[in-house]
Amino acid sequence: MYKLIPMDTSDWALGHCKDDPVRPHLPLAWRATNGRRVYGLEHTDGTIGAVVCVARCNHVPISEDELELSSSENGTVAVFYTVWSYARGAGRQMVLECAAHLQATTSCERFVTLSPLTDMAERFHLNNGAQFITRGDTCQNFEYTL
């Protein structure tokens, strides 16, 4: 059994970001400022099953540069810009639980991704109920509805 926890409040938790397979180049401090947060799914035994980095934005960004420019504490678009799992099925649970948490606790009205242009990312989001929105030069967007 897992529970959603904020991970941007301690060096130990943020240390999991070294395992980010999508955007390992993004600095730890950047992930936890200006409307950006890191969440994890913590198992009852204390292990982490999955991690997601999310930014609150003013619109749906189509690149990392747009993500940085549109991130805001008051953004109404939750953008999942990287997610990874340490346990089978935890990535799906991570995205859905984080979206539900943000819907209940923030002014976020839309839940989208900023995903790499890979078949794996596309399959993951489509198989988990997201709808394709658009494809840019380096990223693609999918939207989850709750």
CA 143 to chain centre: 12
The predicted-structure confidence for 62-82, as pLDDT tens digits, reads as follows 999 999 999 999 999 999 999
Q: What is the CATH number of the domain that holds 72?
A: 3.40.630.150
The total number of residues written for the chain in this structure: 146
> How many domains does the chain contain in total?
1
For residue 73, the 8-state DSSP code is: T
Residue 61 backbone dihedrals phi, psi, to 5 degrees: -80, 150
Rg (CA), the chain: 14
Residue 128 backbone dihedrals phi, psi, to 5 degrees: -105, 15
Cα separation, 141 vs 1, in Å, equals 30
Q: Residue 49 has which token pair?
A: 């099953």
Cα separation, 27 vs 44, in Å, equals 29
- Domain range enclosing 135: 2-144
CA 61 to chain centre: 13
Mean pLDDT of 99-105: 96
The predicted-structure confidence for 8-60, as pLDDT tens digits, reads as follows 888 877 789 999 999 999 999 999 999 999 999 999 999 999 999 999 999 99
Residue 1: pLDDT above 80? yes
Helices and strands (H, E) in the chain, number of each type: 5, 8
Mean pLDDT of 80-99: 94
Cβ atoms 114, 26 nearer than 8 A: no
3-class DSSP assignment, residue 100: helix
